[in-house]
Amino acid sequence: MSIVNMTNHKSTIALLVPVYNGEKYIDQFHQNLSELKESFDEILFYNDGSTDNSLGAIKKLGYKVINSAKNKGPAFSRNQLINASSAKWVHFHDIDDIMCADYLAAKLHYLESNYNAIICDADWINAQSGNTIIKWRYSNSLLQKDGAGYLLRNPIGGINGLYKRDILLEIGGFDENLKIWEDADMHLRLYLFSPNIFFLEKTLVKSLRGSNSTSSNILEQQKNKLMFLNKYKFIDDSLFQASLIIEADKFYHSVVYKKQWSLYEDCIQLFIDLGIKPPIIKKRYLNFLRSIIGGKTFTRLKYHYLKHIKGLEI
């Protein structure tokens, strides 16, 4: 059965769940919903081209599900769910993640406020060991102090918040060009549109993280992060630009450390667009690069680098 319409709060709240090959988690997710102290008024699933029996398992439990024959990714799925919902507030959740029992109960007090988003803290849990990987903690005082730059340095995941649906529609929902980092991007655009975001500063969700460390996945993550950073390089705000430069520097060193040379030129270009010199590469390191990436690739990268760094001795 579907667990709905059990609360007496004034504002309607929808639970929006994109699913891709999540059949083995559906019963567990249903059990998690049954343990909530307050329940959602509307529950919608989006089957994003699953090749397992996710669609049948969702229907068997009586939930409403939108079905797609083609997999188009989390941003597209969430946008479809936003459009399909009729609730005032929406919460996105992944089928393999967990809500604490008082997830909604803790947030109901803030629904009639002027906030556009109510964000909780989150823990990332290793799905195999059960150990906590990252504790995502957010601060209202630091957000007020640092503005949008705080959200750039402290990205918010897709399962942390309740959002006013009409505001999400106004900002265009999630960027479907981003297959990863789409949630951090949405929160940053939401804040830049209207900074009425509130951190509850309480851990109410847990994200189970599996193994996703293959070279192809890591490279895809990096490509999307670079796309994400590039979206904000022309924002005319000195405080925000300072944070962006810090993130660009961290990303640059990550690219070099992971030997992702296919991203190197675009990474250098980001520094150029920001109006600053890329980090200096000393001669001994350039010689090391030549030895591991080959002459032709090295020559191309060195030319691109030196074209913009005057006076560097090679």
| CATH number of the domain within which 187 lies | 3.90.550.10
How far is the CA of 131 from the CAs of 24, 59, 128, 135, 164, in angstroms? 21, 33, 8, 11, 33
Domain count, the chain: 2
What pLDDT does residue 5 have?
Answer: 37
Question: Residue 4 falls within a domain, yes or no?
Answer: no
Judgement on whether residues 174 and 34 belong to the same structural domain of the protein: yes
- Domain extent at residue 238: 215-306
Which of 209, 226, 253 marks a domain boundary? 209
Tens-place pLDDT, residues 189-235: 999 999 999 999 999 999 988 755 444 588 999 999 999 999 999 99
Rg, C-alpha atoms of the chain? 22
What pLDDT does residue 6 have?
Answer: 34
Q: Where are the alpha helices (DSSP H) in the chain?
A: 26-34, 54-60, 74-84, 140-146, 148-153, 165-170, 182-193, 215-230, 238-257, 264-273, 283-293, 295-306
Q: Which amino acid type is present at position 68?
A: S
Say what the pTM is: 0.86
What pLDDT does residue 68 have?
Answer: 97
In degrees rounded to 5, what are phi and psi of residue 157?
A: -80, 170
Q: Would you state the structure tokens that stand for residue 308, as one six-digit string?
A: 């913009």
**Residue linked to tokens 């960027």:** 175
- Between 270 and 288, the higher pLDDT residue: 270
Tens-place pLDDT, residues 147-157: 999 999 999 99
Judgement on whether residues 32 and 144 belong to the same structural domain of the protein: yes
- The residue-averaged pLDDT of 256-279 equals 87
Of the chain, the end-to-end C-alpha distance in Å amounts to: 69
What pLDDT does residue 278 have?
Answer: 77
In degrees rounded to 5, what are phi and psi of residue 3?
A: -95, 95
